[in-house]
Amino acid sequence: MHCDRRRTLARLPRLQSGDREHDLMMIAQTLQWLAAEASILAALAVAVTLVLGRGRLALLLVLLLAWLHGPNAQSVDAGTATALLIAVLAMLPEPTWRSPQAWLLGMACLWLAGWLPWPSSPDAAWPGAPVANVAGWSVGLALLAGLVRWIRSGGPFELVFALSLLPALPLLLGSEALRPGWLAVLAGLVLLGGLWAAVRVAYVDALTGLPNRRAFDEQMSRLSGQAAVAMIDVDHFKRFNDRHGHEAGDRALRAVARQVRGVHGGRAYRYGGEEFAVIFEGRHVEKAEEALERVRECVEAMPVRVGTGKRAGAQAVRRGQGGELRVTVSMGLARRVSRGRPAVEVLKEADRALYRSKQGGRNRLTLARA
């Protein structure tokens, strides 16, 4: 028995050594698979960015693909050149495929991919400049530009561009095994951003940022239990547009949407045109009237800054000081007490109550008849 135990213990180092070799082989195979899958994901992400008109992200992915698969991918010069090109890409306006910057960056991709001549030495490529400093400053400037663009626009793709540059410097100048993972993560973020953008286009109103009519209809179809629906209409909005222009009208709609969005206990939607809708559910139904009155008062007191135009004579449009206009809204509110009552009937009642608000002089809230 002791002899068998000694033989087993003697074999353990060999088994552990074999396990280590097996683990290393599995890691190498995983990295190879990731490199192949990263390229596929990146190509798919390029197609998505082209469809969505995001030329900057498309060129970034193409640059990384060319660098990763080019014959000079292991060269520090190639990493520094990629960092410089990323910085140039971050500083330029959103490129289109017909713009000169897109063609120049495309030529740079061919250069990185090895289809154009490559300098023979680092000194020839970057005379008198340490490559690490060049790459570091380039990545830093690109990251700063990406963050500034995201802060100004708030778009998901600008954030993806900035986040993708965080690990750029060590991966461009070293850490070769992790480069496919970087590309795969970037491609995945782009695809997620594309999905988010598609959902936003389908369910969010572009002008006001509120959920749109489709989102409202789907929420109405899911209503259960006690609920209330309010319809809101901007008074004399057509006259407002005719006298002050569509730009002023859009600004007024955005201002009203900000107030409606803040309604307590309800969720606001842009129903269409100058109409908005609010859905209250559960315990918030009882306080819906009070919450809507507060919104109506805030809209009435809210200034809408526009350029000076023709004198406004409509009841709901009153000129203030310094090119400021004011608008009012009419509202109709209907409650559903019984679960058996269809939601579409509640919506019709709210619409009829809104009509009575307009007949009664506008700038008021009317409750649906029981």
Residue 140 domain boundaries:
2-118+128-203
Question: 253 lies in a domain?
Answer: yes
Name the average pLDDT for the chain. 76
Do both 199 and 51 map to the same domain? yes
Question: 132 lies in a domain?
Answer: yes
Express each pLDDT in 87-101 by its tens digit. Answer: 777 777 777 766 776
Do both 288 and 168 map to the same domain? no
Span 312-340, mean pLDDT?
69
Do both 140 and 274 map to the same domain? no
Nearest 10 degrees: CA dihedral of 140, 143, 145, 147?
A: -140
Do both 178 and 312 map to the same domain? no
Check pLDDT > 90 for residue 354. Answer: yes
Predicted confidence band of residue 319 (pLDDT cuts 50, 70, 90): very low
77 or 52: which leads in pLDDT: 52
Question: 334 lies in a domain?
Answer: yes
Name the nearest CA neighbour of 189 among 156, 151, 222, 216: 156
Do both 265 and 309 map to the same domain? yes
Predicted confidence band of residue 29 (pLDDT cuts 50, 70, 90): low
The confidence score (pLDDT) of residue 224 equals 83
Question: 92 lies in a domain?
Answer: yes
241 CB burial (10 A radius; 0-12, 13-18, 19+): middle
Mention every residue, 6+ apart, whose C-beta is less than 8 A from residue 143. Answer: 90, 162, 165, 166, 168
| Number of domains comprising the chain | 2
Express each pLDDT in 119-153 by its tens digit. Answer: 544 444 444 445 456 666 677 777 788 788 878 87
Do both 32 and 87 map to the same domain? yes
Do both 199 and 224 map to the same domain? no
Do both 101 and 145 map to the same domain? yes
**CATH for 268:** 3.30.70.270
Span 325-336, mean pLDDT?
93
Question: 123 lies in a domain?
Answer: no
pTM attached to this predicted model: 0.65
Mention every residue, 6+ apart, whose C-beta is less than 8 A from residue 36. Answer: none
Predicted confidence band of residue 266 (pLDDT cuts 50, 70, 90): very high
The confidence score (pLDDT) of residue 122 equals 43
Span 216-239, mean pLDDT?
92
Do both 139 and 256 map to the same domain? no
The confidence score (pLDDT) of residue 93 equals 75
Q: What is the DSSP letter of 154?
A: -
Check pLDDT > 60 for residue 281. Answer: yes
Express each pLDDT in 197-210 by its tens digit. Answer: 788 888 999 899 99
Span 49-62, mean pLDDT?
78
- Please report the sign of the dihedral spanned by the C-alpha atoms of residue 170, residue 174, residue 178, residue 179: positive
Do both 188 and 253 map to the same domain? no
67 or 214: which leads in pLDDT: 214
Check pLDDT > 90 for residue 327. Answer: yes
Tokens of 354: 């809104």
Do both 166 and 44 map to the same domain? yes
Question: 100 lies in a domain?
Answer: yes
The confidence score (pLDDT) of residue 274 equals 94
Check pLDDT > 60 for residue 311. Answer: no
Check pLDDT > 80 for residue 33. Answer: no
Span 318-322, mean pLDDT?
42
Do both 253 and 189 map to the same domain? no
